[in-house]
Amino acid sequence: MIGPPNVGKSVIFNRLTRMNVGVANYPGSTVEFSEGALRLADSPVKLIDAPGIYTLQPASEAESVAVALLEDAPDLVLCVLDATNLESSLYLLLQLMGLGLPLMACINRTDLAEERGLAVDHEYLARQLGVPTVATRAVTGQGLEELRSRLNGALSSEFSPPAVRPAPSWAEAERLTQQARRSAGRSEDTLRDRLGDALIRPWPGLPAAVLIVVLVFGFVIGVGMGLRRWVLLPFFGELIIPQLVNLVQALLEPGLGREVLVGEYGLLTKGIEWPFTLVFPYVLSFYAALSVLEDSGYMARLGALLDGLLKRMGLSGTAVMPIFLGYGCGIPALMATRALSSHKQRLTVCAMVCLSVPCISQTGAFVSLLAERSVGALAGVAMVSILAMLTTGVLASRLLPGRPSTTLMEIPELLLPRADVLGKKVWARARHYLADGVPAVMAGVAFAALLYETGAMEAVGRALSPVITRWLLLPEEAAVPLLLGVFRRELAVLPLMDMALSPSQLFTGAIVALFYVPCIAMVALVAREFHIRLAIVVLVFTTVFALFVGGLFARLGPLVL
Amino acid sequence: MGRHRRRRGRCAAADPRGYLGQVLGRGALAVERANCRWPRLSRRYGRMFYERLVQEEVELAGVKAGDRVLHVGCGAFPFTTLALAERGCVVVGIDRDEQAVAAARRVVSQKGLDGHVEIRHGTGESVDCADFNAVWVSLHVTPRDEVIHNCLTSLRPKGKLVLRNVAGPLKLLYNATSPAAGATQAHVRTARSQARSNLVTMVAEKLPSTDKQRVVLSGLAAGCRGTIAATGNGHPLLEPLGIRPGRQICLRCIQKLGGSVVADLDGRRVAIDRQLAEQIVVNPVSGD
């Protein structure tokens, strides 16, 4: 399945395979390809959703993936066309026809085209091009049954290669578009259009952007805290954990096993409390907000508005997406850098995300650690993080070789996100946290419990004490977050909670955690996506830098807080 | 670096590049004087640096034997002027330095090219190019923008302006001219020189006068429409996003801080980098 970005391929894919895959009203949301099983009447089929491409000349690494997929000689290529921007989709279709692969087309977003007073005569196109064509509305599911049966037909019938065609030209695509276009009522300048345009203009777009970012921040923190206080804390803290503790205490004699399970770093106390009550609420609220921003098409507007600022960092407007994703989790952020057009941009965003963008798990931990003790310290951490991010960007753009990139991006329409699509998406991301994040945190806690109960922790603390007590002015136990922080970012923060630290010490701890090693999974991904050398640089630099800056703030903090 | 011809005055002292240019210019002057004195040196020097370069430029600009060509900034030893004359062009070389003009005249008569080459005293900012099929502007010529503006304004339609532009490390010494410089008056093409890898040749072909009101996209007022005439060379996404000659484009807004230009193409909103937008030439459509 191939087509231009942001045309609804992923929605069609999800509907056909009944799977939950990331979908966004934002170019470049599918960066690797997704693969799903599709049950047709005659046989099971493997359906691949390729990253969006405008033409077969790839402009980014993600687009090269799509072109490479075509070289694997698929049994059938389903080209998804955009009814609202027919000619560029048709050019892609014409290019695909030149490849001599079995081909089918489906014209999506016909509902949006109708709103603009346009209709596409898909039968005319099918006759002209000799390619079976179906019209669909993926968001409502209209036309998908027909698509399913036509796919079945196309796969079971013998394929005869099409006649050799001249090289595709834009003139031909334009001619076909003119001929296939039918007028369907009057085009209306809707409120949605006007609002969408207003949000891209500097006025009122920039103040609105500030307002929206503040609102999003407030929503993430507020809703997260509410979820924690009213839902997750009562459920886990008062219901589940005490029961588990009672059960363990009833079953096990006092000893190492019992202490590991319910002791200071008990697997069943901290191991459940931390991931579920301190981090999970923010994961939910953040992804809810992010999904609305993505699906409404606002993210691209933000990218266009901030383009001038991003340019100073050698980035283009498209880089907003991976940076925002980085505030959720660094892994999808690094993956999303594939959609950026230059290697320099990818490296810059990678440096920003690895060094100074805290993931939502860590942000949740910061909020839990600081919000109740010192709001000033929380604001301070946020400021330091933003300043560091901007500095990293500016430095990276100066130091890395290569030209600054030029922005050229499509701004999708402003749409009201559909609740069912949003719900699925938030759930898919939350499930990802539950499946990958929670076990990692629990493993980290179990590791800490073992170290603590066997006394190894004290030894490590003593060994590291010159750094931790002398330089960072923290108690010896603060070696724990430094050890655990390598596994998960939030584990560099959460153990500080029960140490009875002063506000200044909390702030120091938070700053160290902010700049400290991104989790081990991210380092591994940097090695895979870029180079093992870069991963080592990230590992060493973040450790040294975090400790160095932490020490400076430990001395500055008491002056301010 | 001593191969450049001469200093051409008015280098702003505050600009370090200007100062470097002055030093280089003196060096170049010495080399040219040496060339005037020792003809053998000049032959080797000319072959080494100019023959293939001029050949490339002539091919790119489509200049034929018999064409009338003006060379702005010919220098004391007018290599380019002579190379053009050898290809059958009728060449006028101008220079703002009287001494250089006198020296160049001697060289021309020594070579017996008096009938094909004329050396005059004059400047690129004031010369009238209406009589010429093509105008060559040397790398050292300053003030560059004024010279380009004068040449493009006074050239006849289809007349060509050939500019030597720097690439690579030479950018530290000379200001490169943006391909957008003459975009509203001419169709601009660029090509990296094969003979001299640190030079880029730019050929600007003057457009018919009916297209005179052309502007670059970022020069349109918000809400104004235009038909795209040229898009500059560059971004792989220009064509798929509908930014192709002949298409209608409507400027929506220009972002702050040197940010992008947001335009509308047949209902599709696109954010275009400021630099790209400065290379997109449009014919404004009046009436809205």
DSSP string, A238-263: IIIHHHHHHHHHHHS-SSHHHHHHHS
B252 shares contact with chain A (CB less than 8 Å): yes
**With an 8 Å Cβ cutoff, are A410 and B268 in contact?**
yes
Task: For A209-224, give the DSSP string.
Answer: HHHHHHHHHHHHHHHH
The pair of structure tokens assigned to A552 is: 């400076």
| Selected residue of A407, A409, A413, A415 to mutate for chain B interface (largest B Cβ count, 10 A) | A407
What is the pLDDT confidence band of residue A164, given thresholds at 50, 70 and 90?
low
A436-449: average pLDDT: 84
Nearest by CB: B236 against A59, A88, A411: A59
Side chain identity, residue A113: A
What phi and psi values does residue B69 have, to the nearest 5 degrees? -125, 140
Contacts of B242 in chain A (CB under 8 A): 85, 87-88
Contacts of B252 in chain A (CB under 8 A): 197, 200-201
Nearest by CB: B235 against A116, A200, A406: A406
**With an 8 Å Cβ cutoff, are B240 and A88 in contact?**
yes
Side chain identity, residue A425: K
Does residue B113 contact residue B104 with C-beta atoms inside 8 Å?
no
Higher pLDDT, A464 or B173: A464
The length of chain A in residues reads 561
3-state SS assignment for residue A141: coil
Side chain identity, residue B129: C
B184-194: average pLDDT: 75
**ipTM value greater than 0.90:** no
Contacts of B259 in chain A (CB under 8 A): 304-309, 311, 317
A214-225: average pLDDT: 90
The yes-or-no verdict on residue B1 having pLDDT over 70 is no
The yes-or-no verdict on residue B64 having pLDDT over 50 is yes
pLDDT value of residue B174: 65
| Selected residue of B178, B228, B237 to mutate for chain A interface (largest A Cβ count, 10 A) | B237
Q: What's the rounded Cα separation, in Å, for the pair B11 and B25?
A: 11
What is the pLDDT confidence band of residue A339, given thresholds at 50, 70 and 90?
confident
With DSSP H G I counted as helix, E B as strand and the rest as coil, what are the percentages for chain B, rounded to 5?
30, 25, 45
pLDDT value of residue A191: 80
A192-206: average pLDDT: 86
- Model confidence pLDDT, tens digit, residues A448-483: 888 888 888 788 888 888 888 888 888 888 888 888
- CB neighbours of residue A188 within 10 Å: 10
B236 shares contact with chain A (CB less than 8 Å): yes
Task: For A182-205, give the DSSP string.
Answer: EE-S-----HHHHHHHHTTSHHHH
**With an 8 Å Cβ cutoff, are A406 and B275 in contact?**
yes
Omega cis (within 30) before B143? yes
The count of CB pairs under 8 A between chains A and B is: 106
Does residue A457 contact residue A480 with C-beta atoms inside 8 Å?
yes
Q: What's the rounded Cα separation, in Å, for the pair A456 and A438?
A: 24
Question: What mean pLDDT is reported for chain A?
Answer: 84
pLDDT value of residue A25: 43
What is the pLDDT confidence band of residue B69, given thresholds at 50, 70 and 90?
very high
The pair of structure tokens assigned to A382 is: 């946020």
| Selected residue of A411, A413, A414, A415 to mutate for chain B interface (largest B Cβ count, 10 A) | A411
- Model confidence pLDDT, tens digit, residues A289-307: 988 998 888 988 998 898 8
All domains in chain A, ordered by first residue: 9-188 (3.40.50.300), 202-560 (no CATH)
A310-326: average pLDDT: 86
3-state SS assignment for residue B140: coil
- CB neighbours of residue A504 within 10 Å: 20
Higher pLDDT, A389 or A452: A389
Closest approach of chain A CAs to the CA of B267, in angstroms? 8
pLDDT value of residue B68: 92
Beta strand B134-137 with B186-192: parallel, antiparallel or unpaired? unpaired
Q: In 3D, which of B200, B204, B182 has the Cα closest to residue B191?
A: B200
Bridge partner list, A182: A119
Q: Is A251 left (phi over 0), alpha (psi -120 to 50) or beta?
A: alpha
The yes-or-no verdict on residue A27 having pLDDT over 50 is no
Higher pLDDT, A212 or B7: A212
The yes-or-no verdict on residue A541 having pLDDT over 90 is yes
What phi and psi values does residue A46 have, to the nearest 5 degrees? -95, 120
Closest approach of chain B CAs to the CA of A49, in angstroms? 21
A6-20: average pLDDT: 78
pLDDT value of residue A188: 64
pLDDT value of residue B5: 42
**CA dihedral over B251, B256, B260, B262, signed as positive or negative:** negative
Residue of B nearest to A318 (CA): B271
Percent of residues, chain A, with pLDDT higher than 90: 12
- Model confidence pLDDT, tens digit, residues B133-168: 999 998 888 788 888 888 888 888 888 889 888 776
Nearest by CB: B271 against A55, A116, A307: A307
pLDDT value of residue B171: 63
The yes-or-no verdict on residue A408 having pLDDT over 80 is yes
